[in-house]
Amino acid sequence: MFPKKIFTLLTFLIISFSNISNVYSIEPDIFVQSTVNRAAKTLSGNFSKNERIEKLKEIAKDTVDINGIGFYTLGAYRKTINDTQLEKYKILFEQYFLKSFSSRLAEYSNPEIEVISKKKLNENYTMVYSILAGTDQRPEVKINWRIYTKNPNIPVIRDLVIEGLSLARTQKEEFSSIIESNDGDIEALFATLRDFIK
C-alpha cells in the first residue's frame, strides 16, 4: 500500500491537473493588455531600431495567429492552389507579416493603449476594445482586437479593427486584387510578397 503522504500527494496532483485549464485560462482582455504592455516596454526601452524590430517580431510570433490570418487573407484561392504552393505561401506570408508589423510599430516611441472592455462574440471569438491615447502628433484611436479563444489557455490575435477598418479584411482585398489582375496567377502574389520582404 502507498504511504498516506504519497497517496495524498498523488490525489492532489490528479485534482490539480484535472483543473489545469481553469487555472491557466487567460481572459482575452488581460491577454491584450499584457501584450500591449510588453510591446510598449520594448518601444520605450533603450534599443536600436533593429533591436526593437526583432523583439517585436518575437512578440508577434507569441501572440498572433499568423497562419490563421494568412489563410483568411488568401480567401477562396486557398482552395485552388496545391500543397507546395500553400507551403510556399505560408512561409512568405509569415515573413511579410512580421516585417510589416514590426517595421511600422517600431516607429512609435511609447504607445499608450488602454483596454476598456470586451464582448464575447461566440465560443471561439471575443472582441476586446481599447484606446490608443492621443498625442500632439496624433488623435486618439479606437482599436478593437479580435481574439481567437477556442483554446482559452492560448488566446491569439486574429485581427485588428482600427477605427472600424479591419486590417485582415483589407489585406484580403489587396491580395485578391493582385491575383485577379494577373489572371488568377498565385505566383504574382508570391512575387509581390518577395519584393516587400526584400
Alpha helices (runs of H) in the chain, residue ranges in sequence order? 4-18, 20-24, 28-44, 49-63, 66-74, 83-105, 167-180, 186-197
Calculate mean pLDDT across residues 62-77: 94
| Average confidence score pLDDT of the chain | 84
Q: How confident is the model at residue 42 (pLDDT cuts 50, 70, 90)?
A: confident
Between 186 and 16, whose confidence is greater?
A: 186
Q: What is the pLDDT of residue 136?
A: 77
Whether the per-residue pLDDT at 27 is higher than 70: the answer is yes
Per this entry, what is the length of the chain? 198
CA dist 87 and 15 (Å) reads: 41
Q: Which residues pair with 157 in a beta bridge?
A: 64, 147
pLDDT digits (tens, 9 = 90+) for 130-150: 998 887 777 888 999 999 998
> In this structure, are residues 153 and 133 in contact, taking their beta carbons and an 8 Å threshold?
no
Do the bridges between strand 141-148 and strand 113-120 make them parallel or antiparallel, or are there none, so unpaired? unpaired
Residue 22 has a pLDDT of 41
Averaged pLDDT for residues 82-94: 95
pTM given for the model: 0.81
pLDDT, tens digit, 9 for 90 and up, residues 137-195: 778 889 999 999 988 889 999 999 989 999 999 999 999 999 999 999 999 999 999 99
Kindly tell me if the per-residue pLDDT of 95 is higher than 90. Answer: yes
Q: What is the mean pLDDT of residues 109-137?
A: 88
- Grid coordinates representing 189? 502574389
Task: Yes or no: say if 52 and 41 are a contact pair by the CB < 8 Å rule.
Answer: no
